[in-house]
Amino acid sequence: MVEIELQNVVAFKDGIKVLDDVSLKVKDKEYVGLLGPTGSGPSFTLKVIAGILPIHSGKLLFDGEDVTNLPPEDRDTGFIFERFNLFPHMNVMENVMYGPKMKTLDLELKEKETYEILRMVRLDGRENAFPKELSGGMQQRVGIARALVAGAKTLLLDQPYRALDAKIREEMRFEISELVRELELTALHSTHETEEAMIIADKIAIFKEGQLQQFGDSKKLFERPSNEFVASFLAESNVYEGTASGGVVDLGPIQLNSDSELEGQVKVVIRQHGIQISYDGTRLSETNLFEGKITKIRVLGEFIRFHIVLESGFEIISRQLLALEWRNPNRFLGSNVLISMQPSEVKVFQN
């Protein structure tokens, strides 16, 4: 539908800089996840694109055309908020047709289009239902239908599933992303949840304190993070400071082999899921192999977090899938174990 490009965008809200020299290019029909902590930039980026938040400096381009100063109503963007923002006194048809009525468009033509779009978002037959009669997922789809009927070529989704319960949220992640691709829309989706971004997006942009840290497909970001923040934000991690030399990282009590060629003072990120554990004497990789004791166990749904203290006193956390071998995990509390990690799991960044 449209290619979107931010060029060195700076934006302020209430006198505070919320976007700091952000450059980002979203290709036509791409679904891009904007990921970061609360207030770090994803939602502000959507508001800049929509024209809700003015640009202090820099440019915004749609298909190569400068739209920096174009009013929101002329940008053909549909903004899907966390809250559904439907008119409770209007039925589905009336909610979806609200935009065309305000724009005094050809209502007869738009009504035919609305029926087709309601069919595409799987709401045909619910035209006369009121918001209170719809599930959260259905209400969100009404919001998307309303944006499409109003002429949106780009969807801007600002934490759209946050208000939904866990089960519906999981279903909607797949449903809406598939719908957007079927409709061949360009979409930008703001979220704080790494898993959600990984599931829905073709590419992910990671923000910290208003600055874009890294942009690319999820595999690239996960395997080759640009800095310690990206590495630890994408997965639960152990983070240490140390000294690197010749592919070996000295963390004080222990030394680890790494694929890194950095030298000097470094930050080290070891993702919890990348640490293997053997509790029955089974040999693991000889690389980065240590003996230790499980001192604390925490079950987190389908995962278990093991706190392990090595013989040297060094503490590390391993995250394992709650599977057959870890049935009744609390029985391992106090057990002696072997741990190991591949050099590729020892992510090293300049301090």
Pick the more confident residue, 226 or 169.
226
CA separation for the pair 244, 262 (Å, rounded): 6
pLDDT at 1 over 70: no
pLDDT at 20 over 90: yes
Would you kindly state where each structural domain of the chain is located, as residue ranges?
4-228, 235-350
Give 263's contacts (C-beta < 8 A, 6+ positions apart): 244, 245, 246
Look at residue 98 in the predicted model and tell me its pLDDT: 84
Percent residues over pLDDT 90 in the chain = 61
- The pLDDT-based confidence of 138 (bands split at 50, 70, 90) is confident
Look at residue 40 in the predicted model and tell me its pLDDT: 96
Look at residue 104 in the predicted model and tell me its pLDDT: 61
Look at residue 54 in the predicted model and tell me its pLDDT: 96
Task: Report the side by side order of strands in the sheet with 315-321.
Answer: 276-278, 336-340, 289-300, 303-310, 315-321
- The pLDDT-based confidence of 309 (bands split at 50, 70, 90) is very high
- The pLDDT-based confidence of 109 (bands split at 50, 70, 90) is low
pLDDT at 325 over 80: no
Count the neighbouring beta carbons within 10 Å of the beta carbon of residue 91. 19
Within this chain, domains 4-228 and 235-350 share the same CATH topology: no
Look at residue 163 in the predicted model and tell me its pLDDT: 64
- The pLDDT-based confidence of 108 (bands split at 50, 70, 90) is low
- Residue matched to tokens 């934006």: 11
Q: Which of 31-40, 108-117, 334-343 is predicted with the least confidence, judged by mean pLDDT?
A: 108-117
Whether the Cβ atoms of residue 43 and residue 14 lie closer than 8 Å to each other: no
Q: How does pLDDT run across 275-307, given as a tens digit for each residue?
A: 999 988 777 788 899 999 999 999 988 899 999
Look at residue 22 in the predicted model and tell me its pLDDT: 98
Look at residue 103 in the predicted model and tell me its pLDDT: 67
pLDDT at 105 over 60: no
Q: Which of 272-276, 301-305, 332-336 is predicted with the least confidence, judged by mean pLDDT?
A: 301-305
Percent residues over pLDDT 70 in the chain = 95
> Across the chain, what does the average pLDDT equal?
90
Q: How does pLDDT run across 30-49, given as a tens digit for each residue?
A: 999 999 999 999 999 999 99
DSSP string, 161-181: TTTS-HHHHHHHHHHHHHHHH
Does CATH number 3.40.50.300 belong to domain 4-228? yes
User: Measuring CA to CA, how many Å separate 185 from each of 30, 152, 178, 279?
Assistant: 7, 9, 11, 50
CA separation for the pair 259, 248 (Å, rounded): 9
Report the pLDDT averaged over residues 77-90: 84
Does CATH number 2.40.50.100 belong to domain 235-350? yes
User: Measuring CA to CA, how many Å separate 75 from each of 39, 47, 166, 235?
Assistant: 24, 12, 33, 36
Terminal CA-to-CA distance of the chain, rounded, Å? 42
- Amino acid making up residue 278: S
Rounded to two decimals, the pTM is 0.86
Phi, psi for residue 3 in degrees, rounded to 5: -100, 135
- Residue 23 CA to chain centroid, in angstroms? 18
Look at residue 121 in the predicted model and tell me its pLDDT: 79
Report the pLDDT averaged over residues 89-105: 82
Quick one: tokens of 300? 């987190």
Look at residue 184 in the predicted model and tell me its pLDDT: 85
Look at residue 296 in the predicted model and tell me its pLDDT: 96
